[in-house]
Amino acid sequence: MSFEKGDAVVLNDKHSDYDGEVGEVTQVSETMFGDETYSVSFEEGKEHGVPADSLEAAEEEADEETDEE
């Protein structure tokens, strides 16, 4: 899956301090092999060079709807 700048994502990397946290894509870069890597900003910091297979789309809209009920 591909992400764009501004997308809300969940990081899945057990070696990261931000594993399981929701962040925002702040930069999309392309490696020399044509793969995309991402910089993701979290409340407590940033993670750089994150591959797409370590990210999944966050479901913020569903969370906002349940908060309103």
Domain ranges of the chain: 8-57
pLDDT at position 4 is 95
Rounding to the nearest 10 degrees, give the CA dihedral for residues 34, 50, 40, 31. -20
pTM of the predicted structure, to 2 decimals: 0.80
pLDDT at position 21 is 96
In this prediction, the residues of the chain whose per-residue pLDDT falls under 50 are 62
Question: 45: burial class by Cβ within 10 Å (0-12, 13-18, 19+)?
Answer: exposed
pLDDT at position 68 is 56
pLDDT at position 67 is 55
pLDDT at position 11 is 97
pLDDT at position 1 is 78
